[in-house]
Amino acid sequence: MTAQARIAVLLPCYNEEAAIAQTVAGFRAALPDATVYVYDNNSTDRTLEVARAAGAVVRVERQQGKGHVVRRMFADIDADVYVMADGDLTYDPTSAPAMVTQLLAEQLDMVVGTRQHEVSDAYRGGHVLGNRLFTGLLSGLFGRSFTDIFSGYRVFSRRFVKSFPVLSSGFEIETEMSVHALELRMPVGEVITRYGARPEGSASKLSTYSDGWRILRTIGTLYRVERPTLFYGAIGAVLLATALVLAVPLVTTYLHTGLVPRFPTAILITGMVIIAVLCFFAGLILDTVTRGRREVRRLAYLGQPAPTQL
């Protein structure tokens, strides 16, 4: 089924000399009609030479960070279906045909490879916990989520790729992809895929704490941008509630004595109420801006053909 569509396999890489040859070979065998692209991100080893020898089309992105690489790949490559994975041999290439078939058969815009690790070295326990926490947070903030929001194994339609602005610079790119699909209400799917340990000589580039903080910050920023009424409304509600609590003893004293003895507190309450009202109006104004931005992205999305058998 997949041979009729133009398929591009995208492999962002940084120092993956030990794994890239097997990764390229695996995807070439699983998707023989696809073109495999390896985008090197300033590797200091022989990743470029090994990938080229394995039969991949090799290109370079100088700005450091996975988000920068994905932005370049999505801008440069023209295809009907895009398969993205890491170049470290952790994702199972044999799952790719099923993911592509599901995307085309059901006319989806993204299929996420939900990782199922079979060895303890494949996925650190802290990362499992973090994935669950962030997945739950994303679901709570945006109403729905995916089983594995941090999976780097995904299949995209042309519609998704050419309407996705890519604002992230690092490993938070997967979170941004998930939110983009949720906000435009794209049809998406998930496929369970094996997740293996890295081969000897390949090391993870993910920093648990610094990248975790960047991902959390990205979720907060996307929530502020995509849900301004709720974001600023919540701030306004907290300020207003606090002001009311502080005002109760002042009002009680005033009713009994006709005096306002704690004048600085009264000024503070007045300021908090003013800021709360400003937050409510800011949320409403920014919601109008957000709707306009979302309409532009939706039009860019609709400007591309739907995924289908060609």
pLDDT digits (tens, 9 = 90+) for 205-260: 666 667 678 778 888 888 888 889 999 999 999 999 999 999 998 888 878 887 77
**pLDDT at site 25:** 96
Q: Where are the domains of the chain?
A: 2-226, 228-300
- Sequence-distant (6+) residues with CB within 8 A of 282 are 228, 232
Hey, is 171 helix, strand or coil? coil
**pLDDT at site 124:** 52
The DSSP symbol for 224 reads H
Contact 128, 176 (CB under 8 A): no
Instruction: Report pLDDT digits (tens) over 10-27.
Output: 999 999 999 999 999 999
Instruction: Report pLDDT digits (tens) over 258-293.
Output: 777 778 888 999 999 999 999 999 999 999 998 998
Average pLDDT over residues 101-119: 88
The topology (CATH level 3) of 2-226 is Spore Coat Polysaccharide Biosynthesis Protein SpsA; Chain A (3.90.550)
Q: Which of 69, 17, 87 is nearest to 45 (CA)?
A: 17
221: left (phi over 0), alpha (psi -120 to 50) or beta: alpha
**pLDDT at site 33:** 93
The DSSP symbol for 18 reads T
Tokens 């090799």 found at: 58
What's the token pair of residue 17? 């000399």
Instruction: Report pLDDT digits (tens) over 165-198.
Output: 888 888 788 888 988 898 888 999 999 999 887 6
| Helix or strand (DSSP H, E) at 190 | strand 188-195
State the Cα–Cα distance between residues 11 and 13, nearest whole angstrom.
Answer: 6
- Sequence-distant (6+) residues with CB within 8 A of 301 are 159, 160, 163, 184, 186
Indicate if the pLDDT at residue 123 is higher than 70.
Answer: no
- The amino acid at 61: E
State the Cα–Cα distance between residues 233 and 230, nearest whole angstrom.
Answer: 5
